[in-house]
Amino acid sequence: MLNDSFAQLVHPNERVDTFIREDLKIIQSPDYFAFSVDAILLADFITLPERRAFRYIDFCTGNGVVPLLLSYRTTRPLVGVELQSELVDMARRSVQLNQLTDQIEIMEADINDLTKPKQLFDIISCNPPYFAVDRTKDQHRLTSHAMARHEVTLTLDQWIYKASVLIREKGKLYFVHRPDRLDDITETLLKHQFSIHRIRFVHPKVSQNANAILVEAIYRGGRQGVKIEPPIIVHTEENEYTEEMQAIYFG
């Protein structure tokens, strides 16, 4: 059956990668921005309620990597939103490939156009564009890559504002970003009534500076102190995955 699914769902010039721990497949293409370790760490960082129902949505879902990974941990419905139609199609085919169409919905939409739903979301996640356009000289030659990496169609202020519109009081916002934007991030979160609850820094190696941060923020939850969690070290000095990363990847 898997071979038949491959033939029907995987297009030429695409590949299928496997998440070993979750036993999930994901379709990727070199023509579009592939998921990175950032998305995997974001999914691992998100805390999901174990006993109560919740509503969840993932901004900038790309090829659906974060909802796919979260489906391993919950049976609740999961929604991903993506602007680029080609990535939406790829994500939907990955959902089909894993037989998760009853759980995961991939919406094609501009986050800026989302309106307040009747029932607000409990959890929002986002792996957003990291780089402000006026702060970088070089953008990738492919439009898809530029949109994924640079604030061309979606700024920090825009997606955090939209999260404040869609999330319930004391709902949680999870995202991954870059440490050199931490001042902008803090200022923008406070502007839209989010308080930082947890931060975890990600280091390529123990001897190197952090190159990513994982953030959990609470909407109108009160400012009760920020928890700086132990850092994630991705590689050993011998360029092997650390034990923690091996556990995240392989279980």
Contacts 24+ apart (CB under 8 A), 220-225: 220/169, 220/170, 220/193, 221/169, 221/170, 221/195, 221/197, 222/195, 223/195, 224/195, 224/197
Q: Which residue has the tokens 């939103």?
A: 81
- Give the pLDDT of residue 130: 61
Q: In this structure, are residues 131 and 150 in contact, taking their beta carbons and an 8 Å threshold?
A: yes
pLDDT, tens digit, for every residue of 65-81? 999 999 999 999 999 99
| Amino acid 4: pLDDT | 56
**Is domain 2-250 annotated with CATH 3.40.50.150?**
yes
pLDDT above 70 coverage of the chain, percent: 88
The overall average pLDDT reported for the chain is: 89
Residues of the chain with pLDDT under 70: 1-7, 130-153
What angle, rounded to 10 degrees, do the helices at 243-250 and 37-45 form?
80
**If we measure between CA atoms, which residue out of 33, 24, 21, 25 comes closest to residue 6?**
25
Domain coordinates of the chain in residue numbers? 2-250
pTM above 0.85, yes or no: yes
In degrees and rounded to multiples of 5, residue 55 shows phi and psi of -110, 135
* CA-to-CA separations, 135 to 22, 34, 158, in angstroms, rounded: 38, 23, 17
Following DSSP, what letter does each residue of 36-97 receive, concatenated?
A: -HHHHHHHHH----SSS---EEEES-TTTHHHHHHTTT--S-EEEEES-HHHHHHHHHHHHH
